[in-house]
Amino acid sequence: MNYEFFIAKRIIGSKAYKSSISAPIIKIGIAAIAIGIIVMMIAIATGIGLQQKIRDKVVAFNGHVTITNYDNNNSQESIAPISKNQDFYPDFKVVEGVNHVQGVASKFGVIRTETDFEGVYLKGVGADYNWSYFKEFLIEGKLPDYKQKRNEDVLISKYLANRLNFKVGDNFQMVFAKDDPEKLPNIITYNVVGIYNSGFQDLDAQYLIGDIRHLQRINRWGKDEIGSFEVFINDYDDLEEKGAEIHQNISSLLDSQTITNKYYSIFEWIKIFDKNIYGIIGIMILVAGINMITALLVLILERTRMVGVLKTLGSNNWSIRKLFLYNASYLILLGLLWGNILGLGLLFAQKYFKLFPLDPSVYYVTEAPVYISLGYIVALNVGTLILCLLMLLIPSYIITKISPVKAIRFD
């Protein structure tokens, strides 16, 4: 029989325990654990959620890896065309983990209205384009269809639609300059069939999506020529490895670039979230541990006479320490229980009701995104329990210094 656990249960269940002098301190300790776990869960859920959301938005506009012609010189506009007749297109079979390859092109133009104008890039896409990301961004109208004959339907961002007072069903003219400034520009009348909002204002302000065949005609390219390839992989965690493999398996005349290199500053910025998460976790566990140490010391002092009696009856120091550690474990678990209930409640409320908005010009999202996973929740709870108990081992050492004779006479 585990008598230390038995005595700990009796102490916890006694009415005197709940109305003792240490009761307020114990409640503070439980509250510290609960608040700590809530703050840590929110930090992890929002930190990872924000990273994933920003990452997915960048991927939506560029793919995980972009394959371009060296002559483009990192220009956003497609200058030198690439033939679609490549070994890796339409299926990149050589590199495992690649799920889609699509050909795109982009060209700078000016949207002209009766009262205003705006310079943007038309991103030309074709029948092979993966619309899965933009389905999530679509807020009005429908996605354009470029699988049939060439058409003038475009998808425009909410940001541009608001600036130019466009709505679904409107049409506008877009002017594309020619290489020879003496020649008249190309003018195409486009129809707005859908409005999207990625929340990534830097990209929303630059791009509208249209039929790539218009750009092929303007640039005098062939039907099998495009500006660049966008490659999508299954697992973002393998990006660097797959990016290197992709680079090795394309023509020496082509260049490839991962989104982390193309948007280096953005991805370096979101890496800072990891440091913030680790810092918050460390501070919260330290605060919770200190509160539990205080509660444990008060419990030991309050039951000094009981410690003396147990020592007199033959209990060793480690047995008595275990008794108080069982007691402390119960308090920690109680704090974790309440922390999980309240923390998960807040996270699910944010996920489904969008309670806390964010400024998209700063955070690239319109509301605080949350990432909820059983894995990190379990790891967080187990880690907190173990670290707090390890921190309590040191103050429990005070029991070895208690003399049985003085403890029994203690008042």
Q: What tens digit of pLDDT does each residue of 133-145 get?
A: 899 899 999 999 9
Residue 287 sits at the vertex; the CA angle it makes with 285 and 292, to the nearest 5 degrees, is: 90
- pLDDT above 80: residue 405: no
**Number of Cβ atoms within 10 Å of the Cβ of 128:** 19
- pLDDT above 90: residue 188: yes
Closest CA to 105 of 125, 128, 127, 131: 125
Residue 266 sits at the vertex; the CA angle it makes with 261 and 271, to the nearest 5 degrees, is: 95
Query: What pLDDT is attached to residue 295?
Result: 84
Query: If you average pLDDT over residues 167-181, what whole number do you get?
Result: 88
Query: What pLDDT is attached to residue 395?
Result: 81
Contact indicator for 406, 311 with CB cutoff of 8 Å: no
**pLDDT band for position 177 (cuts 50, 70, 90):** confident
Query: What pLDDT is attached to residue 113?
Result: 84
Contacts of 146 (CB under 8 A, 6+ apart): 125, 126, 127, 129, 211, 212, 213
Query: What pLDDT is attached to residue 408?
Result: 63
Compute CA distances 259 → 90, 254, 281, whole Å.
20, 16, 29
**Number of Cβ atoms within 10 Å of the Cβ of 304:** 17
Query: What pLDDT is attached to residue 326?
Result: 86
Among 15-19, 104-108, 258-262, 263-267, the minimum mean pLDDT is found in: 15-19
Query: If you average pLDDT over residues 195-222, what whole number do you get?
Result: 92
Among 8-17, 22-31, 274-283, 348-357, the minimum mean pLDDT is found in: 8-17
3-state DSSP of the chain: CCHHHHHHHHHHHCHHHHCCCCHHHHHHHHHHHHHHHHHHHHHHHHHHHHHHHHHHHHHHHHCCEEEEEHHHCCCCCCCCCEECCCCCCCCCCCCCCEEEEEEEEEEEEEEECCCCEEEEEEEEECCCCCCHHHHHHEEEECCCCCCCCCCCEEEEEHHHHHHHCCCCCCEEEEEECCCCCCCCCEEEEEEEEEEECCCCHHHHCCEEEEEHHHHHHHCCCCCCEECEEEEEECCHHHHHHHHHHHHHCCCCCEEEEEHHHHCHHHHHHHHHHHHHHHHHHHHHHHHHHHHHHHHHHHHHHHCHHHHHHHHHCCCCHHHHHHHHHHHHHHHHHHHHHHHHHHHHHHHHHHHHHCCCECCHHHHCCCECCCCCCHHHHHHHHHHHHHHHHHHHHCHHHHHHHCCHHHHHCCC
Among 73-77, 78-82, 225-229, 276-280, the minimum mean pLDDT is found in: 73-77
Query: What pLDDT is attached to residue 110?
Result: 93
> What's phi and psi for 235, nearest 5 deg?
-125, 115
Query: If you average pLDDT over residues 226-242, what whole number do you get?
Result: 94
Query: What pLDDT is attached to residue 410?
Result: 53
- pLDDT above 60: residue 50: yes
**pLDDT band for position 4 (cuts 50, 70, 90):** confident
**pLDDT band for position 406 (cuts 50, 70, 90):** low
Closest CA to 68 of 199, 254, 318, 250: 254
**Mean pLDDT computed over every residue of the chain:** 88
Query: If you average pLDDT over residues 266-290, what whole number do you get?
Result: 90
Q: Quick one: angle between helices 304-312 and 264-302, nearest 10?
A: 70
Query: What pLDDT is attached to residue 92?
Result: 92
The predicted-structure confidence for 321-343, as pLDDT tens digits, reads as follows 888 888 888 889 999 999 999 99
The predicted-structure confidence for 288-320, as pLDDT tens digits, reads as follows 888 888 888 888 777 777 777 777 777 788 888
- The residue to which tokens 């670039």 are assigned: 257
What's the rounded Cα separation, in Å, for the pair 51 and 315?
A: 53
- pLDDT above 70: residue 21: no
Compute CA distances 21 → 293, 324, 333, whole Å.
16, 17, 21
Contact indicator for 122, 210 with CB cutoff of 8 Å: yes
What is this structure's pTM? 0.82
Provide the percentage of residues in the chain whose pLDDT is more than 90.
55
Amino acid of residue 12: I
**pLDDT band for position 199 (cuts 50, 70, 90):** confident
**pLDDT band for position 73 (cuts 50, 70, 90):** low
